[in-house]
Chains A and B, each alone.
Chain A
Amino acid sequence: MRDKAWYPVLYMFIATAFFSSILIGLARFSRDRVEANQRLSVEKAVLEALPIELPREASSLELHRIFLERVTGPSAASGNAYVLLEGDEVAAYAVPLEGKGYWDTIRGFIGIASDKNAVTGISFYEQNETPGLGAEIVQPPFRNQFVGKRIAEGDRPLGFRPAGSALEESEVHAITGATQTSTRVEKIINEDLAGWRSGLRSNGDSGS
């Protein structure tokens, strides 16, 4: 049988069917979990950009509960930002950030208070920048400097300056050694903030 011409074909067919069916089964089995993980990482990033006291070492489930209680999803009225509610009042917006980083797409959120001016935080849930350099954008030393900044009018709401230089109230320090990532993150923030602001305004105009 083994020297027949059809034997290799049959063999390959059976082997492929066997291994693939196991993988397909497992992928089905884990699909919900994988999707849930992705949703949770987005929710966590939203919460981190907003002015909420998060419990230390909170589990994903706790974060998910806080998210459901306090945050409402993007709508036209919020310029497609997630909204943090304090009672019925808007307390802050989490404006989505998205754009090309040095290696890969960067996605995250920047939190803006209800005055549409003060920054409440920034967070990233997707990035593939160089570890130790560009990837420092996800670390507290970089992210914390955004809290309390005020975004400027015009098309450059937040400026990046080299580390060590004096800062205006709408400026933060870039990451030393990660010029590419810094320039790109600055561009992403400015474009998305400017876009969000003009979206809100045109929406407000049509409403009045």
Chain B
Amino acid sequence: MSVVKEGLWDNNPIFRQVLGICSALAVTNLVLNTAVMCFALTWTTALSCLTVSLLREWTPHRIRMMVQTLIIAFYVILVDLALKAYWPEMSRNLGPYVGLIITNCIIMGRCEAFARSNPPGKSFLDGLFSGLGYSFVLLMVAVVRELLGMGTILGVPMPYFSTLWDKWIIMVMPPGAFFTLACLIWIFRSIRSGEEEKSV
């Protein structure tokens, strides 16, 4: 249970560890693209952690980073192939960002910090919930950006925002991600610092 809470809240990759920010900024201007990206990342983190943990007894210490990168790349390429073959439009939308999941610090971070010294089941859960923790923050950023920037959510026009609202074009441009993400991190950290004061 603690693993679940760690990934989603106490140690949330985005607003606690501030990892994986590059993709959080790049692919959050449309909710659908973000959802696919989040799925790909969660899948990769969970299965990479599982595999790293399964191999932890046999992997020589000195080359463990190479092995981890190999495993992560393996799962990312699987997603990339599946998208190219079965969802070509989405593959084109995400462009290079699927491949760039390999370099996402969250995955390597969880493999190094957790999976290589914990049993497979626990590592899988840790990876899964770290991925979900990343996803929920990203989806919030995406909803805000798509709504304020284009007046839609998942491409469906929203009342008020699609008609009367003067669309903030900057929200779908890269700077919009900085503003939104910074505000979210600010809000979440304020909530958390309140919690800490109470518990002390």
Given A30-B84, A34-B84, also A133-B63 (CB < 8 A): no
Given A23-B74, A37-B84, A37-B88, also A132-B150 (CB < 8 A): yes
B63, B86, B92, B95: the one contacting A12 at CB < 8 Å is B63
Q: Does A162 contact B (CB under 8 A)?
A: no
Segment at the B interface, from A14-22, A64-72, A165-173: A14-22
In the complex, A2 Cα to B86 Cα: how many Å? 43
Q: Is the CB of B173 within 8 A of A8?
A: no
A19, A37, A104, A177: the one contacting B74 at CB < 8 Å is A19
A11, A41, A132: the one contacting B172 at CB < 8 Å is A132
Q: Is the CB of A131 within 8 A of B30?
A: yes
Which B residues touch A128, using CB under 8 A?
Answer: 92, 95
Q: Is the CB of A8 within 8 A of B149?
A: no
Q: Is the CB of B85 within 8 A of A2?
A: no
Which B residues touch A177, using CB under 8 A?
Answer: 169
B30, B63, B67, B85: the one contacting A34 at CB < 8 Å is B85
Closest partner residue, chain B, to A104 (CB atom):
B95
Q: Does B160 contact A (CB under 8 A)?
A: no
Q: Does B11 contact A (CB under 8 A)?
A: no
Nearest-neighbour CB distance to chain B for A57, whole angstroms, equals 15
Q: Does B77 contact A (CB under 8 A)?
A: yes
Q: Does B159 contact A (CB under 8 A)?
A: no
In the complex, A128 Cα to B89 Cα: how many Å? 11
Q: Does A52 contact B (CB under 8 A)?
A: no
Given A19-B71, A38-B88, also A130-B173 (CB < 8 A): yes
Q: Is the CB of B70 within 8 A of A19?
A: yes
Q: Kindly supply a per-residue 1/0 record for chain B positions 33-66, scoring 1 wherever the CB is within 8 Å of any chain A CB and 0 otherwise.
A: 1000000000000000000000100111011001
Which B residues touch A19, using CB under 8 A?
Answer: 70-71, 73-74
Q: Is the CB of B70 within 8 A of A8?
A: no
Q: Does A191 contact B (CB under 8 A)?
A: no
In the complex, A33 Cα to B88 Cα: how many Å? 10
Nearest-neighbour CB distance to chain A for B90, whole angstroms, equals 11
Given A19-B70, A132-B149, also A37-B63 (CB < 8 A): no
Closest partner residue, chain B, to A11 (CB atom):
B60
Q: Is the CB of B173 within 8 A of A133?
A: yes
Which A residues touch B59, using CB under 8 A?
Answer: 11
Interface positions of A (Cβ within 8 A of B)? 2, 7-8, 11-12, 15-16, 19, 22-23, 26-27, 30, 33-34, 37-38, 41, 104, 126, 128, 130-133, 177
Sample of 7 A–B contacts (CB below 8 Å): A8-B60, A8-B62, A11-B60, A12-B67, A22-B74, A34-B88, A130-B173
Interface positions of B (Cβ within 8 A of A)? 29-30, 33, 55, 58-60, 62-63, 66-67, 70-71, 73-74, 77-78, 81-82, 84-86, 88, 92-93, 95, 149-150, 169, 172-173
